[in-house]
Structure 1
Amino acid sequence: MSSTSLWIGLAALLGLYLLYNIFFVLLHEKILFQSDEVSDDYEFSFTFQHEEILLSPSENVRLHGLLLKSDSSNGLVLYFHGNRGHLGRWGRIADEIRTRHGYDVLAMDYRGYGKSRGERSEPLLYQDAELVYDYAQELGYDHIIIYGRSLGTAIATHLAAKRKASHLILETPMTTLREVIPTLNFLLLYKSGLKYEFNSLSRIDRISCPITIFHGMEDAVVPYELGHKLYVEASHSDKKIITIKEGKHNNLDTFDIYQQAMERILN
């Protein structure tokens, strides 16, 4: 190979590298938040009873949620869902918690999801979570379990570090956003250009309630090692990690070990 061809090849690789950085910095929010909005008059096709909640923390901002009430409530599960889909999907999962365990469940869509509106940022997502928690207290709930799923684990961990909770449940949690995709550690040139950190690792040692982590060893989205690392870093004495050997990212609730652990926590 001639020196000219070598330099052309290196220049092409450098160009691809720079394009990768530009592409990710510009589009990482769209990749991270796979949201879909619905109209204000959209009707959910649920067969179960539910109450729709609307909160307005500021002008032009609206947070939409579902409150599912049990016949004889043992408390409230405050549920923060994953990054894909609105409450039309996650409401059914919330109803399973209500039906199986006799808890009321409050689940909110993030800004830009479902009927929720408003500009989105990491600090604003955290503020919204605190607002929803305060709203739950205004409804009279004092036994509140905070549950986070995937992306929602970062928001749930932040909230549990800021507010009183009876238990923190994390399903397929990340440590930080960069650690979810290991290649970001060396491929991203413009790390400061990333808008989101979701650094649960820096908050997990400030949790003052029992912690349960669920993670599958075959999770190809958020590697099991990240959930285990979060477990190790948690300082609370009452902490557990439920390892599901054949569990993937979206099927942990199909395993008996998950349901048995949830039964112990909630009942």
Structure 2
Amino acid sequence: MFDVLVTVLTYVAAVLVTLVLIVMAVAYRFRHFQDMLLYHPQEPAGSRTAVDSPRDHGVSRYEVLDIRTPDGLTLRGFLVQPPTGASRCVITYFHGNAGNVGHRIPIARLLAERVGATVVMMDYRGYGQSDSGSAAAAPSEAGLKVDANAVMEYVLGRDDLRRLPQFVMGTSLGGAVTIYLASQQRYDRVVAGFIVENSFTSISDMADVVFAPVIARRIPGWRGKLLTFTLSKIIKPVVLYIGWWSIDAVRHVTAPTLFISAAKDELVPPSHVHALHDAAVKSSLRRFVTLPDSTHNDAPAAKGYAEHISGFVHDVLQRRGHHLGSSTA
């Protein structure tokens, strides 16, 4: 009897392992579909072709930038300077999912005018007017990390920018890009501080945020809970290839970091930003700011938004012993 039980269990285990391997193989083969589900460069309509220029938003001092990546793609975006030409620092800004840099020019103008920063913002591959149309140019986690490094190398390699204090800022998906950069040792000494706004702990955690409420509405009771558990704990770890494990990467961040959270964020739960802040235990200066009346996309319009960023820049530069007056870019 015992031998029969062992045989049955062995057979069942073999079948389960085979099924898992098949599912993993299929998921890997079609992993680009996960990228298509996550990244939305085509939204809103026209975002891949129509990109506002800074001049369209009343900015007179700007440059159009083209940056080449190591894998041969061209990223396109803008450099926006303070209206007086006096730059306190450089803020390299990474935008969120959907849209393009043209949609974020009001943010660049705000940072230039109210913080006194020279702002560099580029579209990722596949976004805006950056290169697209090939498999390599399709947005992906690996590709966006290559893009981020290329942008940083451009900024740090340009004489008029590298002599200024460096800050890196990202919103939502851009926050994950920012945390990735902040966790890299090569940027520890050259970047004064990082700013993370309304970002998530991981794509895995965001999958739970998106699908759990849907299942609860469609399948109430214990059946829905069982399905949620099965998807989250058994299927998702096997099939999900997109990581953006910011909750792990942020543990390696040593530079000063400002976390900004919109209390009424309807896309990324504020608890994610709290978790990122709490996990950044090695950061030499952690700061958390809550915007009580803001949602995911309107944080820059909140009262005190620019002042929080400006105050963080001031305190970081004071700690580093920088002259707090202006210098010309």
- Please tell me the TM-score bracket, short chain as reference: 0.7 to 0.9
Note if 1:134 corresponds to 2:148: no
Q: Distance in 2 between matches of 1:234 and 1:250?
A: 24
Quick check: which one's helix share is greater? 2
Map of 1:104 onto structure 2: 118
CA contact (8 A) 1:173 1:227 kept: yes
Q: List aligned pairs for 1:130-169, cutoff 5 A.
A: 130-140=149-159, 141-142=162-163, 143-162=165-184, 163-164=187-188, 165-169=191-195
1:169-210, Cα deviation, whole Å (9 max, x unpaired): 001011111212324774362544334211111111211211
Structure 1 residue ranges (4+ consecutive) displaced by more than 6 angstroms after TM superposition = none
Map of 2:59 onto structure 1: 48
Q: What is the TM-score normalised by the length of structure 1?
A: 0.83
38, 44, 57: which one pairs with 1:32? 38
Segments of structure 2 that go 5 or more residues without pairing to the other structure are 1-22, 132-136, 213-227, 315-329
Q: List aligned pairs for 1:231-246, cutoff 5 A.
A: 231-235=277-281, 236-246=283-293
Provide the alpha-carbon RMSD of the alignment.
2.6
Q: Distance in 2 between matches of 1:131 and 1:102?
A: 24
Matched length: 246
CA contact (8 A) 1:242 1:258 kept: no
Q: Distance in 1 between matches of 2:298 and 2:52?
A: 27
Q: Displacement, 1:94?
A: 1.3
Q: Between the two proteins, what is the percent identity of the paired residues?
A: 24
Q: Distance in 1 between matches of 2:120 and 2:65?
A: 9
Q: Which residue type is aligned with residue 227 of structure 1? A: V
Q: Distance in 2 between matches of 1:250 and 1:42?
A: 18
Q: Distance in 2 between matches of 1:42 and 1:196?
A: 28
Deviates more, 1:115-124 or 1:61-70: 115-124
CA pair 59-153 structure 1, distance change in 2 beyond 3 A: closer
Higher RCO (C-alpha under 8 Å, 6+ residues apart): 2
CA contact (8 A) 1:52 1:66 kept: yes
CA contact (8 A) 2:110 2:306 kept: no
Map of 1:212 onto structure 2: 258
Note if 1:171 corresponds to 2:197: yes
Q: Which residue type is aligned with residue 175 of structure 2? A: T
Give the number of the structure whose alpha-carbon radius of gyration is greater. Answer: 2
Q: Displacement, 1:58?
A: 4.5
Q: Distance in 1 between matches of 2:117 and 2:195?
A: 14
1:133-173, Cα deviation, whole Å (9 max, x unpaired): 11101112241101010010111011112213111100101
CA pair 180-58 structure 1, distance change in 2 beyond 3 A: same
Q: Displacement, 1:43?
A: 6.5
Segments of structure 1 that go 5 or more residues without pairing to the other structure are 1-17
SS at match of 1:76: strand
Q: Displacement, 1:250?
A: 1.4
Q: Distance in 2 between matches of 1:207 and 1:261?
A: 21
Q: Distance in 2 between matches of 1:168 and 1:43?
A: 26
Q: Distance in 2 between matches of 1:244 and 1:59?
A: 39
Map of 1:124 onto structure 2: 143
SS at match of 2:180: helix
Q: Distance in 1 between matches of 2:69 and 2:198?
A: 29
CA contact (8 A) 1:153 1:173 kept: yes
Q: Distance in 2 between matches of 1:202 and 1:33?
A: 22
Note if 1:196 corresponds to 2:242: yes
Q: Distance in 2 between matches of 1:34 and 1:77?
A: 24
1:1-37, Cα deviation, whole Å (9 max, x unpaired): xxxxxxxxxxxxxxxxx9xxx9x97744233211035
Q: Distance in 2 between matches of 1:196 and 1:32?
A: 9
Map of 1:180 onto structure 2: 206
